[in-house]
Structure 1
Amino acid sequence: MIITESLPSIVYAIADVHGRADLLEAMLGYIAADSNDHHSKPVVIFLGDLVDRGPHSPKVLDQVYSTLDLYPGSRLILGNHDFYLRELLRGALTYEDAVNWMDWGGVATLSAYSTWPVPAFENIAADIRRVFPHHVDLLENALSFKEIGRFCFVHAGIRPGVQLANQSEYDLRWIRAGFLDHIDVHDHVVLHGHTITKSLRPEVYSNRIALDTGAYRTGRLSAAVIRRDELSHFVCTELTESGAIRVGEWRPSN
């Protein structure tokens, strides 16, 4: 007898939080309320880049860790920024990666974790491992991609024409050219972040759904809502001019 895994009734995909714990808190509140309304627990897939640039990366990892515990089947996809933090905690961060990481927002993360000055990487890593061992576990258990029904969840994208099992870790975390300009269908509809959309809103294409709306600088965090293996709508949490956070649903025009 062949047993097939049933699809979750609802999936949320959240991209590129980048230290914006305030926006993520509002998003998770929306998800919790929706879960109560429908009397079912969702699956939440974080598409990576939890850290850097924004001010509260440690809190974001706490929020994600708690969410994965609360909603069975939920997972973190490792982003390129998360990769740098994981390598630091492994003691495997190369000099080149360290330079790039600090240039691309890593200073904000390390300053939020530890009072040691950058680049006292060994001391900072020791502080994180001691105070936040669950963050180490979270990063070590992160995936490179996740398939659910007709959707594939990744951080950056995929190399067209290459089976998922044969995709390189680098492409899954970094690809832009060759993926963003590819117009033919893939085996799955690809949900991804990594590249901020031109409209600063989620964008739907024939073969992919782009979710990075630049939360760290736009004040807008976005999630895609998948119901019964179909895109239902998007949820955006936005910082208003008054400093309040607005939560709204948004449906793209056909």
Structure 2
Amino acid sequence: MKHRLGSFFSKRLGRKSAALPRLSLVRPPAVTYAIGDIHGCLNELVALERKIIVDGGSIQGEKLIVMLGDYVDRGPSSSSVIEHLLQPLPSGFSRICLMGNHDQMFVDFCRSPSTSSPWLGLGGDETLASYGVYLEDLSRHPLPSQLRALVPQDHLDFLTSLPVMLSFDQYCFVHAGIDPGLRLDMQADDVLLKSRPHQFNWANFGESFTVIHGHTPVDEVDLRGRRINLDLKVYETGRLAALRIAEENCQLIHTS
């Protein structure tokens, strides 16, 4: 279910002030595949997963897929993406899903729906449409009753359960990034979910780990340095990438 952890890890981390969970693996998987922002693009996700399953089919040991968040908004199939993530992977593969800021906004909207929510202009209307919720029906079907009837509870349970960080060995996985001036156990949830790389000085980042994230769209994935951004703006470009990590070797797998 959801982020099925298999037999090889894990423990929860987090400062007392952190509202959202963080995970750490006791020992790393044989191979890890990190996938950037999905944004409602089910076809691209399925195509990439097929390549990953073929790639990992001959590898012995645990094979982990790490989803970096933002499963909803902008693309046409947000509800189907979440339903897909709730399904089990083939034997030998596990999946950990991290929370993105768009996922958090969707949950917040469902808890307190409002037609004036800024989220609606950030792709939220496409997410609602994927569930069959339409704002023009409000005169006959009030928004709270539509959400209760059409958004499955297990989708909301899944999203509210998501951690905001995963770490093992020399790798840290988050949705948006970190503050390079702070230790991992001091990172604020808002930084992990919403920050942009330009907000911080990465020039003197002296840590011995690599940060793998999405959130800020890039034209190409740059594997150099200690920060790797996997958000290729799939809802516009149709391009989705996975970072394949085996020990210290990193390679990219693309949908196209």
TM-score class, shorter-chain normalisation, is 0.7 to 0.9
Alpha-carbon spacing, 1:93–1:162, altered in 2? closer, same or farther (3 Å) = farther
Give the equivalent residue in structure 1 for 2:35.
14
- 2 CA distance for matches of 1:152 and 1:44? 14
- For residues 1-254 of structure 1, what are the structure 2 equivalents within 5 Å? 5-67=26-88, 74-89=95-110, 91-92=111-112, 99-117=117-135, 120-129=142-151, 132-178=152-198, 181-187=201-207, 188-197=209-218, 200-228=219-247, 230-238=248-256
Normalised to the residue count of structure 2, the TM-score between the two structures is: 0.80
**What is the one-letter code of the residue matched to 2:145?**
N
CA contact (8 A) 2:113 2:144 kept: no
Q: State the identity %.
A: 29
Describe the superposition over 1:30-82 as per-residue Cα deviations: whole angstroms up to 9, x where unpaired: 12222322244411111011111000111111222225796665311111101
Shift of 1:181: 4.8
CA contact (8 A) 1:88 1:121 kept: no
Give the equivalent residue in structure 1 for 2:19.
none
Write out the 4+ residue segments of structure 1 that deviate beyond 3 Å after TM superposition.
67-73, 92-95, 118-121, 177-181
- 1 CA distance for matches of 2:122 and 2:206? 31
Describe the superposition over 1:216-247 as per-residue Cα deviations: whole angstroms up to 9, x where unpaired: 0011011101102x242011113xxxxxxxxx
- 2 CA distance for matches of 1:179 and 1:190? 15
Q: Which runs of 5+ in 1 are unaligned?
A: 239-254
Structure that is richer in helix per residue:
1
Q: How many residues align?
A: 227
Shift of 1:127: 2.5
Normalised to the residue count of structure 1, the TM-score between the two structures is: 0.80
- 2 CA distance for matches of 1:25 and 1:136? 22
Give the equivalent residue in structure 2 for 1:241.
none
Shift of 1:162: 1.5
Q: Which runs of 5+ in 2 are unaligned?
A: 1-24
Shift of 1:5: 2.4
Q: Which has the higher contact order (CA 8 A, sep 6+)?
A: 2
CA contact (8 A) 2:165 2:192 kept: yes
